Every structure is written in C-alpha cells, then in structure tokens.
Amino acid sequence: MAKLQRSVLVLFLFFLIFSGLYFSKEFLVPIAISAILAMLFIGFSNFLERRGISRAFSALFSMLVLLISIGLIVFLLSLRLSEFAADFDTMKTKLTELLDNLKQWVRATIGLSVKEQEKILKQGQESAGNGGAMAAAVLASLMGMAVNLVLGIVYMYLFLYNRSHIKKFFIMLVPDSVNRKTDIVIHESAKVAQKYLSGLGGMIACLWVMYGIGFTLVGVENAIFFAVLCGILEIVPFVGNLTGTSLTVLTVLVQGGSGSMVIGVLGTYFVIQFVQTYILEPLIVGEQVSINPLFTIMAIVLGEMVWGIPGMILAIPLLGIVKIICDNVPELKPYGFLIGSEPKKKKTGVIDKLKKLIGK
C-alpha cells in the first residue's frame, strides 16, 4: 500500500511539473535553450580561460561565435532566397495551374464542383480570420522571436559567466557526503548536452553536402538553398527532414519539374536517410544520449505538447540529462533504467572500424 501511495505521489508530482512547464513556457523556453547552448560552449570557454583570457571575455567570445554562426547561416539562406524570389511570379502562375488541375481532379473523382470547392475554401479562409488579423499575428510572432533571441543571448552569456556560482548552488543543495557525486552529475550532464549538440552540428554539415550534391544531380533549381533548409530542419527530430523534403518536392512541382525529378528528390531523401541512420548518427552523434527509442518518441511528442517546436528540439538533450540524474540517485535508478536503451553486445562492425580509423 505504501508503494502504491508513493507511485501515485510521484505521478502527481510529474503532473504538477509538466503543468508548471506548460504555463511558464514564455519564461522558461529562452532560459532552457540558453542553458543548453551554454553547455555547448563550456569547453570553448574553458579553453580560452586556460590561455589567460578572463571569464567575462571568454563568455563574450563564445557568444560572438554563436552569433557569427547564426549570421552565416542566415546570410547563406537569404542569398539563395533572393534567387528563389526572382522566379516567384513564374512559380505563382504554375501553382495556380496546379491548383486548377487539382480542382478538376477532385471534381472528376469525388463529384464536387469547382464552385463548391471554392465556397468551402472561402469559408475556411473566413473562419481563419481576415488578412489584417493574420498579418498582425505574424508580426507579433516575429517580435516575440526577436525578443526571445535577445533574451537568449543575454542568458547564455550570464550562464557562462556565472557557471561556477550556479554549480556551487547545486552542490550546496545536497548533503556534504554526496558533494563529489553531485559534481560528477553536473559535469556529465553538461558533457552529454555538449557532445550531443556538437555531434548534431557535424551531422547537419554532412547533410548539407549530401543534399547539395543530390539535389544538384537531380536538377533542382536553387539546390543549395533547399540543401541548407533540409539540413537545418534536422534540428527538429523526425518532423524536420520530412518537412524539408516535402517543401522541396512541392517546389519542384510548382516549378514545372518532371515526374522523374520528383522521384529523384525522393530517392535522394531515402538514400540520405539510410546513410544518416546507419552511418552518420552512430559515427558522429554516437550514443551520447543512450535513450530508449520508445521514450525518445514520447519525449518529443510531450515536448511539442508542452513547449511546441522548442520542446521538440530540447526533448532529447533534456531527457539525457534527466537520465544521468536518475542513474546517480539510488531512489531514481529504476527510472533511469527504464528510460535508457538496452546495453548492446560488443561487436566489430563497419562503424567500429570507422571509429578506430578516425581515432588513429
């Protein structure tokens, strides 16, 4: 009976935690993203400090590296987007033709006349709100993103600058007998987030190259733009790569691409997904976050429900940190075992040989 009461209390605690996370979304999302990014730059900041640079300037340099990286990606996308926008009128005409053909297909298949289809679309547009309201919503969303970006940069700098102070705070929360263990947990948590994000960045760079080569060979217009877009969307697990490829296929159709070009884009996607799943992820990302696939998907779904797209992005590294905490707290070890993946038997495969080759 006592164990049942304890389990109910644990579930109730989880309910309160996720409710608090949901209602505190606007406040917590910038802090969580900044904390994860700060963990990514701890190694770089320590490297600068070992060279005699003060903590204030090492945190500032880390922040500048992040801003320059984001600026380069945005510049590359905007450069290709200008070329993409030059053909916008032609694409608009072809999209209209494509929609007209789709309406005719619906009329022939379902028996719904073109006028009835337009009436349904008009009702949907009216229920979604007028153009002014939609423009105001988009503007408000962009303003919110700008504010969160500024806050995130400030938070990241302060996390890096005050990391020793924050670490001492967590150590002070626990009894002196487990200070050493707490220090190890903090170190491993930061290390997991750092290795996962750096591995993810390396994998995205490889995807840029592969998508760029594949789309260019297929003949996709503005292939580099779509390659960069598909790679960046990989930040959102499972959903990002499907979204990027779907946008590419839709654009190829609008641009008047042939069926063979569409098949080529889909073939490129499946080949790259195979390489990513069986070579890139084990080799570059590795088992830095050894989470059971079931709980990986559950964490992503729950993250989207609580925090939207930022929750999907943060789900895996945060769950990895939770697993480390559970593994090092005796009362929570069963939960860490449940979240974690089954230990794999040691075998010499292609990935192991590649790792040995890179290590040499």
- Per-residue confidence of the chain (360 residues) as pLDDT tens digits? 666 777 777 778 878 888 888 888 888 888 988 888 888 888 889 889 998 899 999 999 998 998 898 888 778 777 666 666 665 666 666 667 667 777 776 667 766 676 666 666 666 555 545 545 545 554 565 566 667 778 888 899 999 999 989 989 988 888 888 888 888 888 888 888 777 777 788 888 888 888 889 888 888 877 888 888 888 887 877 677 777 787 788 777 766 667 788 888 888 888 888 887 777 776 665 555 667 778 888 888 888 888 888 888 888 888 888 888 888 888 788 888 888 776 555 544 455 555 555 554
> What confidence score (pLDDT) does residue 157 get?
92
**How far is Cα 192 from Cα 320, in angstroms, rounded to an integer?**
7
**How far is Cα 328 from Cα 72, in angstroms, rounded to an integer?**
40
> What confidence score (pLDDT) does residue 162 get?
92
> Cα 1 to the chain's mean position, in Å?
42
> What confidence score (pLDDT) does residue 2 get?
66
> What confidence score (pLDDT) does residue 305 get?
86
- pTM here? 0.71
> What confidence score (pLDDT) does residue 161 get?
92
Q: What residues contact 147, with CB distance under 8 A and at least 6 apart?
A: none
Output b/e per residue, 112-132; b: 16+ Cβ within 10 A: eeeeebeeeeeeeeeeeeeee
Cα angle at 244 between 220 and 98, to 5 degrees? 60
